[in-house]
Structure 1
């Protein structure tokens, strides 16, 4: 059953997901408590399977709080990959909004990643969701503005500076 769940996540097959849940109504609970690896939400997020992600978070919103071995949430992964629609789906869930503050093993939250990768639209959504997450500094003391400069993301820096009076700085 776990293998079928992984395959459904890879394919983004929502119908298979529903069949699997019909056969084992606790399977998503097993993912939440860490009994199933890989996490189907992380797999589908990484591969950009938007409808599958939407169905998963509708069925089991707590999945957005599950972290991988590097302490990355699905929101970290969606932001890294630039999957804007998935980022939007994840932050619509109450638990997903709080993941804007989650820090990975390197101390980065999803806003830091969006700034480093130059994903401006994603950054706007994340800042709009939890504005103070943009003020979180890395352990080295770097700010989100430092990361933009360091990673040569001047458009993203400009976007943040335009918004600085109200939220970021």
Structure 2
């Protein structure tokens, strides 16, 4: 990449970018197409340089669909960093396919926002494409399972609105874990209490995962510290029980 173009991308120097474009109108067209390089748009989106991004996508909209070495678009980076206005700009020039583009780990921009609990970005993304949150990752997990795995409670609450209560009760990951299974495994008492506010989840609380374990069973497999005791108390109050795998139903 042209050193001056790289420098302007890092610093967000709009004046330098305009000067470069005035001297060479095709400078953006000569950006090397390589899986090892970030484009100026990747760099500016990551750094939050909104005005710089606006110029780039106006001059060369196709940059928004370019991938870096980890198969991330600029939208992935802006979403992860919470740059809401940049996210809006990128969505305006990208196709719906780009909104759902997956990086090398199968994560969409929404996953990146959820993992970093960028709530305003999440709102923009699901307003643009409401069903984007319901799409499964390549490993079969939902974005809600990702939120719980990363302990992103507020993101999980926001995204859970994309499903009705009955659906929330039966969403499972690749190991057959419901949201409640995973919250118990992670010992997230706040999440457990939130999920148990849903009547459908309370009513299906003794569903088993891929290993044949109920939520009480998986709790028995966790270290019995204060967090486990608190969750056990909540589950017992909700009349949850161990599965037959233990030869008992208490």
Question: Can you give the 5+ residue segments of structure 1 that lack an aligned partner in the other structure?
Answer: none
How many matched pairs?
Answer: 166
Cα distance in 2 between the residues matched to 1:35 and 1:136 = 26
Quick check: which one's helix share is greater? 1
CA displacement at 1:19 relative to structure 2: 1.1
Cα distance in 2 between the residues matched to 1:21 and 1:36 = 24
The 10-residue stretch of structure 1 (150-159 or 25-34) with the greater mean CA deviation from structure 2: 25-34
Q: Which residue pairs with 1:14 in the alignment?
A: 14
Q: Which residue pairs with 1:45 in the alignment?
A: 45
Bigger Cα Rg: 2
1:2/1:35 Cα in 2 relative to 1: closer, same or farther (>3 Å)?
farther
Q: Deviations over 1:101-135 (max 9, x none)?
A: 10000000001111111111101111111223212
TM-score, with structure 1 as normaliser: 0.88
CA displacement at 1:14 relative to structure 2: 1.0
Question: Can you give the 5+ residue segments of structure 2 that lack an aligned partner in the other structure?
Answer: 169-250
Higher relative contact order (CA 8 A, sep 6+): 1
Q: Work out whether residues 114 and 120 of structure 1, in 8 Å CA contact, stay in contact via their aligned partners in 2.
A: yes
Which residues of 2 match residues 39-78 of structure 1 at below 5 A? 39-78=39-78
CA displacement at 1:34 relative to structure 2: 4.4
TM-score, with structure 2 as normaliser: 0.61
